[in-house]
Structure 1
Amino acid sequence: MGRNLEPQVKRSRRLGEALTEKAVKYLARRNFPPGVHGNTKRKPQLTGYGLQLQEKQKAKAVYGILEKQFANYVEKAMSKRGNSGNLLLQFLEMRLDNVFYRAGFAKTRRMGRQAVSHAHVTVNGRKVDVPSFQVRANDVIGVREKSKKSSLYATLSESLQKIEAPSWLSINSKELTIKVLGAPKPEEIPANFDVTKIVEFYSR
């Protein structure tokens, strides 16, 4: 699966949204697009299409997903009964790399993706190295036994005790496991993009 290798801070400035903790302080100082003409007093007024496109780009950047896979998530959400925007959020949140991040096992989604890709993660006792793997209710996600000895996870148990995980995840800091209690509710997902505009974009 391909990845967008554009620096996260640069992408945050282009989209006008902090995509990582590091980007927050940069946007506080330089809240304008990168490039020679980025620091202009007048910002272009976006059309309805432009706003929809911008929200789509934000969501893709937040979750580190390229267009083809993102479009598949939207198509899947729109094909099911229920609110398409809420279903899209659930599909994105229940990616394995995102759950690893949400539970505090990785500092960023990118690090969560790397942990999964490098075979540090298990689901129900089996190794899974696909970041987009969709977890389900009652799945138990863990760190592989041999990975627990690495410097990446040696102090994780202690740091997890200071983290408040989402209510739809149950963390065992001693065993280094995450149990999925169910799908997250829309109000439990801190999204900094408008899913309604995203659905509208793909409904054209």
Structure 2
Amino acid sequence: MGRYTGPNCRLCRRAGEKLFLKGERCYTPRCAVEKRRSTPGDPSRRRRRPTDYGVHLLEKQKAKYIYGVMESQFRKYMADAFEQPGVTGINLLRSLERRLDNVIFLLGFADSRKQARQMVMHGHFRVDGHRTDIPSFQVGVGHSISWKETDKATDYFKERTDGIPKRVVPPWLVLDQSDMTGQILNLPADEDLQQSINSRLIVEFYSR
């Protein structure tokens, strides 16, 4: 199955909560979840109580929606998490958090992970000075992330620079506002991971 190209707000309504897929709009009254709390579909149909399988499936889908990962890629993340030492669910979320497109979003260089993914694919960023156009690239401790030099003359870059002071950057990242570069200080701690995802349910889903 290919990448989902429909309305992002529909995914939030399907999950029953805000997944913050559309940047600033998600923080305004225009957010679809604020307007319509019901799930997508015919409102006249009776809503069934979710099964145990459905609860586990929804949690897995929610993680895929948030990080913009397709099923085959998500399975690979899950397989790697099972092989690594430590808590499987934490391993999974830590790998997802370390995706380059996610780090670009967390640093405030893009309004959403979807936008960050497009910018990475178009070659707008450098990792340790090298062009890296793979959104799933796993950043490591000590990596430095910078913009393509020619981008610094664009209106978008100036817009980002003005808005950066409002951004709260996770403690495992450091942002140098003077030249708009980011650095990976350490691996994300448990409390730095996506708190809205119940990784235990995802691990149980793939352990069936």
Question: By the TM > 0.5 criterion, same fold?
Answer: yes
Q: Distance in 2 between matches of 1:167 and 1:107?
A: 19
The Cα shift of 1:43 comes to 3.6
Query: Does the 8 A contact of 2:169 with 2:175 survive in 1?
Result: yes
Residue type of the alignment partner of 2:149 = E
Matches within 5 A, 1:55-134: 55-134=59-138
Residue type of the alignment partner of 1:100 = I
How many residues were matched structurally?
202
The unaligned stretches of length 5 or more in structure 2 are none
Q: 1:26 — aligned with what?
A: 32
Aligned-residue Cα RMSD (Å) equals 1.7
Matches within 5 A, 1:1-204: 2-20=2-20, 22-23=25-26, 25-37=31-43, 43-204=47-208
Q: Distance in 2 between matches of 1:106 and 1:52?
A: 30
1:114-162 deviation line (CA, Å, top 9, x unaligned): 1101110110001100100000000001111011222221232232122
Query: Does the 8 A contact of 2:93 with 2:194 survive in 1?
Result: no
Task: Give the structure-1-normalised TM-score.
Answer: 0.93
Q: Distance in 2 between matches of 1:34 and 1:110?
A: 22
Task: Give the structure-2-normalised TM-score.
Answer: 0.91
- Equivalent position SS for 1:74: helix
The Cα shift of 1:167 comes to 0.3
Query: Does the 8 A contact of 1:12 with 1:23 survive in 2?
Result: no
Q: Which moved more, 1:132-141 or 1:19-28?
A: 19-28
Q: Distance in 1 between matches of 2:15 and 2:35?
A: 15
Query: Does the 8 A contact of 1:8 with 1:19 survive in 2?
Result: no
